[in-house]
Every structure is written in C-alpha cells, then in structure tokens.
Amino acid sequence: SQTIHQWPATLVQPVGSPLSLECTVEGTSNPNLYWYRQAAGRGLQLLFYSVGIGQISSEVPQNLSASRPQDRQFILSSKKLLLSDSGFYLCAWNLAGFRNEQFFGPGTRLTVL
C-alpha cells in the first residue's frame, strides 16, 4: 500500500532563516506531487505541483521554491523565511491519468518568529 511521509512534523524558525521541508511517497511510481499551505482557520492554497522528476509548476509567486530530485521525493525550500510563511504545510500525491483523488501527508506545522 502507499504511504506518504513528511518531516519535520513541527518547526519553529526565525525570520530570515532558510527552510527545507521534505515529502516522500512509498508504494507507487510516477506520482503527481503537490505542496499546499494552510493558514490558521483557512483553506488549502496550492503552492507547487510536479508531474515528474525536475518538473515543477508554481501556482503563486512567493519566496518559496520546490524541487523534485527523485521520483517520489518533493522538497519545499526557502532562502529567507518571512512571518507570513507560517502555516500548516501539506504534501499530497495522486496518480497521473488515473483518478484525481489526492492523498495528503501528515503535514508540517511551521511557525516563523
């Protein structure tokens, strides 16, 4: 069966510090991968998605970036965090061309101070 992992689970970082969040999927090949951000009490904002290794599409302009160095690995990064980057970051996957149900990871709660 498929499993999706995210780490770390929680993170407290000072403004201006770098960020690296990691997401890995097990038990499937060539998944579509997604990064979402959820501010407190708000909806799900799609940040990036990827349909293959090295292929990244950005949905919103911001100081975040994403990379997909391996088929089942998706990384969210920032060189300098802003206060507004605080939130709950969710990674998700689904199978390309099959059905669009997305499976979410457990999330990373980021607090920027």
Partner 1 sequence: GENVEQHPSTLSVQEGDSAVIKCTYSDSASNYFPWYKQELGKRPQLIIDIRSNVGEKKDQRIAVTLNKTAKHFSLHITETQPEDSAVYFCAASSLGGTSYGKLTFGQGTILTVHP
Minimum CB distance to partner 1, residue 64 (Å)? 18
Of 4 and 81, which CB lies nearer to partner 1 in the complex structure? Answer: 4
Instruction: State the binding string over 15-54 for partner 1 (x if CB under 8 A, else -).
Output: -----------------x-x-------xxx-x--x-x---
Contact stretch for partner 1 (CB under 8 A) within 16-24, 60-68, 74-82, 104-112: 104-112
> SS3 for the chain, per residue?
CCEEEEECCEEEECCCCCEEEEEEEECCCCEEEEEEEECCCCCCEEEEEEEECCEEEECCCCCEEEEEEECCEEEEEECCCCHHHCEEEEEEEEECCCCCCCEECCCEEEEEC
